[in-house]
Amino acid sequence: MRAYLGIDIDYIDVSFKIDSLSLQKVKSQHLTLYFWDDLPENTAQKISEKLQNYQHEQFIVDATQMYAFPCKNNPDVIVLQFNFSDKLTELRNDVLLYLDLQHDEEFEPHITLYRKKKLDSSFKRTKEFLQYIPKIKINISNISLYFSDPEKEINKYELIEKKILS
């Protein structure tokens, strides 16, 4: 099952013209911290239980720009990108260490706003700047675990566990 460790947020509606593009608006948004392509159910249960005792302070981050993956002329995904935040990187590193998860260095905090119904296997991580937007402030107040089933509905995420930060 596909799983995401992230931050549950209030829905963000950012205007973007997609006249000729075959993209769908994501129905339930979150700020992704970590992704599993296939997380076994028993491992997910252990992570969920361990998250209940996780502690970290709340803070605020800013988003001011949108990107398209892999390019703006034919995007597969449109994301809201956050300004570099030491606090967000620190939170991610801390929670991954706490959960004994492998740490990769390619962390780019983002919220997916639009995406194709189905991505092909050659999806590339290259990105192109799309547009600046008015500053959006996001309160980082929780760590959450989500599941998604791409076979059922690619743009919907099921919230499994939500730990409120202090």
| CATH number, residue 26 | 3.90.1140.10
Residue 88 lies in a domain: yes
Across 73-95, average pLDDT: 86
Using the Cα atoms of residue 104, residue 107, residue 111 and residue 115 in order, give the sign of their dihedral. negative
Q: What is the pLDDT of residue 135?
A: 86
Instruction: Give the integer Cα–Cα distance in Å for 36 and 126.
Output: 20
Least confident window among 60-69, 75-84, 93-102, 112-121: 112-121
Residue 107 lies in a domain: yes
What's phi and psi for 92, nearest 5 deg? -60, -50
Instruction: Give the integer Cα–Cα distance in Å for 91 and 12.
Output: 22
Taking residue 94's Cβ as centre, other Cβ atoms within 10 Å add up to 14
Cα dihedral 80/62/5/72 (nearest 10): 10
**Are the beta carbons of 119 and 24 closer than 8 angstroms?**
no
* Closest CA relative to residue 2, chosen from 162, 104, 120, 145: 145
Across 49-78, average pLDDT: 90
Highest-confidence range of 71-75, 85-89, 144-148, by mean pLDDT? Answer: 144-148
What's phi and psi for 164, nearest 5 deg? -75, 130
Task: Report the Cα–Cα distance between both ends of the chain, in Å, rounded.
Answer: 30
Tens of pLDDT, residue by residue over 31-59, are: 889 988 889 999 999 999 999 999 999 99
Residue 29 lies in a domain: yes
Residue 90 lies in a domain: yes
| Two structure tokens written together for 161 | 């566990």
What's phi and psi for 141, nearest 5 deg? -125, 5
Task: Show the CA angle centred on residue 156, arms to residues 155 and 157, nearest 5°.
Answer: 125
Residue 49 lies in a domain: yes
Number of domains in the chain: 1
| Two structure tokens written together for 50 | 């361990």
Higher pLDDT, 103 or 161: 161
Residue 74 lies in a domain: no
Residue 153 lies in a domain: yes
Residue 17 lies in a domain: yes
Domain that holds residue 55: 2-61+82-114+138-164
